[in-house]
């Protein structure tokens, strides 16, 4: 990083500084599959037309002042330095999906290569042989929601080349979630539930930052694991199958079903690797990333790009703990879904995500970036896996005139298993017939 001072330099946000600490030095990866062979010149023009290309964060170098504090300094972006065509297959004998996963795993070990002081902290790799574009962006520039939204704002609909995509839940879904009503005593009960579950879960969250940790299992990570070579796998699930399972349990959601599947998968893997290593009832804890923005669409993005003070660009998310308990005694597979739904319902009634965000913000303010990063790192070391769910587009898209076939986003540099799902609407996914997600391992 440079060290020259400039009066126009802009200080990093507290969250941006957090992601520059070595314990939390995270990079976001987004693999975008294309239907047709890649046209390098067309994609360069499309990238230059993206809102992210003109946003100050993407046009700034990371520099330090004389006191050692990080700042953004505006610079001229040279597109040829950020777009890297990769000719030839990544590896012989692999399918396109496996080759892209291998490329992502190898690229994740080179995150320091993104941290030079001579260009902004992002680049795009074009895998010509696999018709895939890999976007690599440092987490200090923003969270997954703002970054993916800004990138997709440069895409257009297949059916209407002039129209922007719609990102986030539909209005009808938002309305169903916000429907409350009922008698006054039900409102009182809901408030009491929020207070109770918030207190319980926040206390547990604080203990996790100190000393409480999961027992060691075959899927455990820990300090230093993020430095090991990585393995990336893709899992697909039929949307129709998920809907059938969801309908078997009253008021269940697709997220409940997916978390139930994750629970079963972890338990089966543990049994396969070491049948007698884990006792009945052993707790395995996940960390879920929660977007705290009220709006999740491109309308919010346009306001952020205009500098609306009420809508801050960057990182705005909290985390919640998701416990599952190892069991061999469930004769009915739906019992995993019932347990997942019960736990998720309690989490939805709490303000744990908001408090985790505030706790991190206060730690940055009063204790500094180094201590705050150590506390965050402790949470990940004391848990077993993390899961993130990012809203994707609700329509079929093109980028640079090339139809998009899939979007997969993930991050690296966490000391445990990482699972990522990019959500689209039912109308789009039903044409694709499946949901896909990414999982990191070491």
d(CA 412, CA 385): 13
* SS3 track for the chain: CECCCCCCCEECCHHHHHCCCHHHCCEEEEEEEECCCCCHHHHHHHHHCCHHHHCHHHHEEEEECCCCCEEEEECCCCHHHHEEEECCCCCCCCCHHHHHHHHHHHHHCCHHHHCCCCCCCEEEEEEHHHCEEEEEEEHHHCCHHHHHHHHHCCCEECCCCCCCCCECCCHHHHHHHHCCCCCHHHHHHHHHHHHHHHHHHHHHHHHHHHCCCCCCCCCCCCCCHHHCCCEEEEEEEEHHHHHHHHHCCCCCCHHHHHHHHHHHHHHHHHHHHCCCCCCCCCEEEEEEEEECCCCCCHHHHHHHHCCCCCCCCCCCEEEEEEEEECCCCCCCCHHHHHHHHHHHHHHHCCCHHHHHHHHHHHHHHHHCHHHHHHHHHHHHHCCCEEEEEEECECCCEEECCEEEEEEEEEECCCCCEEEEEEECCHHHHHHHCEEEEEEEEC
d(CA 380, CA 222): 8
- Point out the catalytic residue in the list 139, 272, 325, 416: 139
Among 413, 379, 377, 415, CA closest to 222: 415
d(CA 225, CA 228): 5
Q: Which residues contact 320 (CB under 8 A, 6 or more apart)?
A: 201, 205, 287, 288, 290, 347, 350, 352, 353, 356
In whole angstroms, what separates CA 398 from the centre of its chain?
Answer: 22
- Residue 416 is a catalytic residue: no
Q: Which are the catalytic amino acids?
A: 139
């Amino acid at each position: 990083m440079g060290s020259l001072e400039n009066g126009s330099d802009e200080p990093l946000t507290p969250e941006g500084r957090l992601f520059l600490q070595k314990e939390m030095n995270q990079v976001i990866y987004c693999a975008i599959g294309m239907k047709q062979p890649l046209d390098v010149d067309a994609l360069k023009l499309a990238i230059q037309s993206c809102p992210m290309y003109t946003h100050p964060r993407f046009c700034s170098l990371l520099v330090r002042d004389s006191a050692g504090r990080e700042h953004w300094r505006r610079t001229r972006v040279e597109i040829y330095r950020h777009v890297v065509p990769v000719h030839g297959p990544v590896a012989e004998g692999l399918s396109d999906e496996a080759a892209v996963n291998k490329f992502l795993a190898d690229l994740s070990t080179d995150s320091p290569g993104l941290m030079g002081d001579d260009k902004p902290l992002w680049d795009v790799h074009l895998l010509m042989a696999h018709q895939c574009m890999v976007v690599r962006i440092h987490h200090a520039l923003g969270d997954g929601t703002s970054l993916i939204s800004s990138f997709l704002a440069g895409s257009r609909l297949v059916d209407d080349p002039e129209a922007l995509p719609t990102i986030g839940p539909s209005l009808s879904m938002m309305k169903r979630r916000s429907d409350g009503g009922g008698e006054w005593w039900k409102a009182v009960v809901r408030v009491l539930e929020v207070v109770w579950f918030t207190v319980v879960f926040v206390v547990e969250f604080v203990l996790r930052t100190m000393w409480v940790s999961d027992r060691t299992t075959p899927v455990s990570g820990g300090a230093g694991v993020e430095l090991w070579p990585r393995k990336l796998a893709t899992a697909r699930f039929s949307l129709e199958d998920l809907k059938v399972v969801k309908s078997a349990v009253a008021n269940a959601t697709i997220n409940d079903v997916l978390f139930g599947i994750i629970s079963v998968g972890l338990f089966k893997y543990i049994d396969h690797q070491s049948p007698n290593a884990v006792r009945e009832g052993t707790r395995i804890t996940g960390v879920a990333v929660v977007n705290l923005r009220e709006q999740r669409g491109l309308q919010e993005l346009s306001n952020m790009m205009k500098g609306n003070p009420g809508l801050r660009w960057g990182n705005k998310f909290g985390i919640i703990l998701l416990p599952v308990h190892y069991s061999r005694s469930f004769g009915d597979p739906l019992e995993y879904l019932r347990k997942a739904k019960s736990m998720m319902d309690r989490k939805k009634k709490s303000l744990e995500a908001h408090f985790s965000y505030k706790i991190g913000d206060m730690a940055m303010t009063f204790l500094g970036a180094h201590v705050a990063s150590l506390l965050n790192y402790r949470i990940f070391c004391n848990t077993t896996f993390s899961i993130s769910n990012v809203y994707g587009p609700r329509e079929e898209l093109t980028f640079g005139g090339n139809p998009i076939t899939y979007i997969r986003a993930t991050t690296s540099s966490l000391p445990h298993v990482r699972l990522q799902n990019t959500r689209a609407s039912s109308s789009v996914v039903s044409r694709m017939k499946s949901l896909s997600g990414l999982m990191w391992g070491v």
